[in-house]
Structure 1
Amino acid sequence: MGVEKKWLYALFSIAFVSLLIFLSGISGFRSSYYAIPSHGSFASTAVHRGPGNPPAFAYYITGGVGDADQMFRLLLAVYHPRNRYLLHMGSEGSEKERKKLGLLVESVPAIRAFGNVDLIGKPDAVTYMGSTNTAALLRGAAILLKMESGWDWFITLSALDYPLITQDDLFHVFSTVKRDLNFIDHTSDLGWKEDQRVRPIIVDPGIYLTRKTQIFYATQKRPMPDSFKVFTGSPWVVLSRSFLEFCIYGWDNLPRQLLMYFTNSVLSQEFYFHSVICNSPEFKNTTVNGDLRYFVWDNPPKMEPHFLNASDYDGMVQSGAAFARQFKKDDPALDMIDEHILHRSPNQVTPGAWCTGKKNWLMEQCSKWGDVNVLKPGPQMEKLGSSVNKLLDDWKSQSNQCR
């Protein structure tokens, strides 16, 4: 083995072993790894789960420096007692900001009562281009799996995202969706990504350092793998609980094999889940090819879609998407969504059929509640339903699955 190959092998080994240590919390995390800002009191209404009841979602919401207010606003916009929420402010955020976010969360009466929102207390260092993104995501999924047994789908959001539907809309549409289906934008047509994202060998120092840093590249590129086919797509996903259990608990070697490979890939979050699910005989037929997101890309496209504003509002409303990305803090478009779609007042959760308080300036509408298993969808439900039905028609025809 030549000197350069030995050096590359050493880099790969260090990175992968460090990633395994980084992910050690998956098999058994301790309570000190996360903080629960609201311990809650007894909620007066039971949350019914399982067949015959509306579905439930586990939200993993991420943010960085200066994102506490945006993360809190997003949480209020997507909150419902049926769901579970995990907030992760990356290690670059200050402890002061993290405590501020915890206090904001604890100030919401429903969250205190239902105790279904948690904040990671020991945050991960996340490098945008590196594999720490995937590691943090897997850790978040593992925590949510251990903390709550009743949710059906896992949704990833960042502080730059915002919903285009109420949770009642989302529950109603997904009530008729098979709960083992995965909404994940994917393709095997790698194009330029093969040479610029898959074949380059990178190391993400954030795996073994406590601070955020930049990735670095090896001088040599690797051949494409023979034992599996690489798929790519949007990093924003809606994944079934059963598929995440497959990735986390690993009764098959495939998730570990691909985790090893993508540890050294650029933007591994655009490849990992896509490649695992499409190379798995058990799950490859559960892939609905769509991420339910609304983006507007520049021409030519940049690394991220452009920031949305009020001029994009009509396009968002008509899109049939569940979420839109990306928004600047306090953009007027967010106020328009709050007013016309969510009917949400500032610093209050989005009201649903579960809220029984009177809407006035003295009382938050959702500070009192009735049956949280009752739904009252709004006009956006029809648009989301049409969009999901179209995706499901493609899935049933198998015209767009893992190709």
Structure 2
Amino acid sequence: MENKYAFLSCLILMYLNSFSQSISSSPYSLYGLGSLYDSDFGSIPAISSSGIALPSDDFINNLNPASLGYLPQNHFMFDIGGKAIGTTFQSSSKSEKRNNFQFSHIAFAFPVTKKSGFSVSLRPYSSASFKISNLKLPVENSSEYYTLDAIGAGGLNNFDFSYGYKINKKLSVGVSAVLLFGTTTDDRNYTVANSITAISKKTNYNGLRATLGIQYKIDSTFTIATTFKAPTRINASKVQSVQTVANEVITTVESDIASDTEDYYMPLEIGFGISKRFKNNLNLSFDYEKSFWNSTNQSELYGDFVNQDRFALGFTFMNKKNVRNYWDRIQFGTGFNFDTGYLEVDGKRVNNGAVSFGISLPIENTFSAVNIAYSYGQNGKIGDGLIKENYHKVSLNLSLDGIWFVRRKIE
């Protein structure tokens, strides 16, 4: 037991040390607060991040706080995970490969009463990590062009407290209070003819957001669910330095000037999910989510925010012939998702699609498991000023289950 706690402590320390590092290396993380990050718990990555209607009866479901109403009594659940991502970026003229690894989340949950549960989690919300060289862009209202060189890092973290309550055998509700906070750095050089303008900016963000979730069991095999993420404002402040270089003469325009900047607005997001079990072995989950970015009235110099649609379909299978047989308790999962994206660059959508496969390996005779998932996906496309990303992603989640306040029958 002491070895388990020592191992767990090492994982937590490694996670906290790496949490501030950037995760995404996508050039699309140049926009807004960076690329949104999918840090799902348990076996959810294997089913392509579907599961709004799944209860937290044997794992922590981070997609719907209402699921916490189904936490088993006297069980304390802990989940920690990481991802390894290999990406190939392709444009019409060249390609580039990048690899990175990052711990993605840490969470724990436990029942408060027979009908309610509570969870706390820390995970990335977005990641801005990009490097762009010699990008040629048109000067507005002119036939001339300028060259952009940019490098950025940082992003937002998501620290949430969730509570779920089971009103009766069929209906459960839940709420999450989410603190979003983080820092981004952005260094850009604009070259026009023989003149260079260098802007170095560090921006701090913080804000609060609420999520409401509902799950309703139509019968023992069929559940429907919905989530509502409230629109909110993310407060921003920046420290900026500006220099110009012309004819080898360097002029400092600003030096570490602190000021407020435009706040960032999170949209209303509505999700709907279903879960259907067939013959106690095969389970289907389907999610649809709509994010109303248009109503935030935000835009970027190089693109616009547009309404986003996301579809996810997943299947899990477990033999369950003999619960005492280890091989019969192994769970297999697969899924597919498609996302229209929330960015439109020069009138072209940056969408994403992925397929996933995974396995859940039980540990001892508890709900503890090692969850391994692989997914392959594509983001964007070649041409029309866009870049295509082909990525391979391996997710590793360790889900631990401990039993509290139960007297041992055999000492």
**Fold shared per TM-score above 0.5:** no
Going by fraction, where is strand more abundant, 1 or 2?
Answer: 2
Question: Over alpha carbons, which structure has the higher Rg?
Answer: 2
TM-score interval, smaller chain: under 0.3
Q: TM-score, normalised by structure 2?
A: 0.27
Going by fraction, where is helix more abundant, 1 or 2?
Answer: 1
